[in-house]
Chain A
Amino acid sequence: MLLINCPFCKNRNETEFVYGGPVGVNRPDPNISSDTEWVEYLTLVPNPTGPVQEYWWHARGCGKWFAITRNTVTHDILETQDGQ
């Protein structure tokens, strides 16, 4: 079980959160990006054996969306980034 440091509620159990997917690149402008860039944006996500940035949603808590940097091998949470 991860102990996730919600920016608002501080440390809470992983079971209160919903995983929101890996943080990819920013959405390219579909009007100026090529098909290849657009498909890469849709299909490619980082899959490192090490730190990965991902969104979590404190659904059964304060409702906040934020990002954490988590090591995919050790599951250590290295950093929490407050969202909007």
Chain B
Amino acid sequence: MVDVVHNYPKMRDLRRRQLTMDIYGSSYEQISTEQVRKLIPALTGGGANSRLPIIGGMVHKDAGVTRHDAVAWGYARAADSLGVEMHQQTGVKSLIRGTNGNIEGVDTVKGIVKAKKVIVSVSGHTTTLTETAGLRLPLRTMNLTAFVSEPIKPLVDVIVNCSDLGFYFSQSDKGELVIGGAPDSGQSFRRDIKQHVFEDTVGAMLELFPAFKKLKLLRQWGGHLDITPDASPIMDETSVSGLYVSAGWWGGYKAIPAGGLTMAHQVATNSPHPLMADFSFNRFKNLDYILETGTTTAR
């Protein structure tokens, strides 16, 4: 993954993060503009005479690109072969609480499913569901713009993140460029993109990659995700006994293999996994926020 940097305060902040990540043994290094251009030959814009010249970059050498669908379906197949039942096209209408206040199950469009333990992991609609159990959670739902180009030959083999101009992209196995932009202003459940956010993102991309100007865009979508006050996820049991929440995964699916494992540990043993113990609801009660180095919003 390569961060393309255009201003010195950003570079200083990324260098600070490099030092933090060094403590934990992760590789994150500063590179020169020439090295950035060598890693990304398609990056021909952002020269000395451009509106925002590139001053350098950061590279995360440990990072890689995986195909998210393959990961999701790999987990689904493995779970299915272990006897887990999955009900697609079965929307959950509300959570059911018993007379003692504990969770008793979920009410779906196809009927009631009883359960002693329920995990809510529904991304942007977490609060919509937990409100039916009378809970108020520190989450806001935002809309994130994304779109995909027509497939082209292999051209870029890293994730390019350019937070100063407000866009990031990577090339998929099929050759499409998968491009993302800044979140919309204000809370949103609309699942669509706004034209001016789209234009800003495309404009930023063409400034650095003028060769992409002739690319046709195939499809667009808005993904809604929930964000916590400190932009780190929540993995914890709620104040309703038996009701767990895995939410606030602002920034994508990347951490979910670890998130799933640690959440399963919590549900099975009723005690938090050491890796996730900090991601509790209690941190908000004590205003003891997690300051992660790599969250999307922190970038």
CB atoms of A43 and B196 under 8 A apart = no
* Residue total for B at the interface (Cβ-Cβ under 8 A): 23
Q: Do B189 and A42 touch (CB < 8 A)?
A: no
Q: Check A72/B195 contact, CB under 8 A, given A39-B287, A47-B139.
A: no
The answer to whether B186 and A54 have CB atoms under 8 Å apart is yes
Interface bracket on A: 20 to 34
Residues of A within 8 A of B128 (CB): 49
A1 to B190, CA, bound (A): 13
Q: Which residue of A lies closest to B185 (CB)?
A: A19
Contact B186 A73 (CB under 8 A): no
- Neighbour of A43 across the interface among B138, B185, B186, B188, CB < 8 A: B138
Interface-central residue, A22, A45, A73, by most chain B CB under 10 Å? A45
For B128, the closest partner residue in chain A by CB is: A49
Which chain B residues border A42 with CB–CB below 8 Å?
229, 287
Residues in B whose Cβ lies below 8 Å from that of A18: 185
| Contact, CB under 8 Å: A22 / B196 | no
Residues of A13-54 contacting chain B, CB below 8 A:
13-15, 17-19, 22, 35-36, 39-40, 42-45, 47, 49, 52, 54
Q: Could you tell me if A14 and B196 are in contact, using CB atoms closer than 8 angstroms?
A: yes
Q: A42 CA to B138 CA in the complex, in Å?
A: 9
Interchain nearest-CB distance for B270 vs A (Å)? 25
Q: Quick check: A75 and B284 within 8 Å, CB to CB?
A: no
B residues near A, CB below 8 A? 125, 127-128, 136-141, 185-190, 194-196, 226, 229, 284-285, 287
5 nearest CB pairs, A to B: A19-B185, A43-B138, A47-B127, A43-B284, A73-B189
The 7 sampled A-B contact pairs (Cβ below 8 Å) are A19-B185, A36-B285, A40-B136, A42-B287, A43-B138, A52-B186, A54-B186
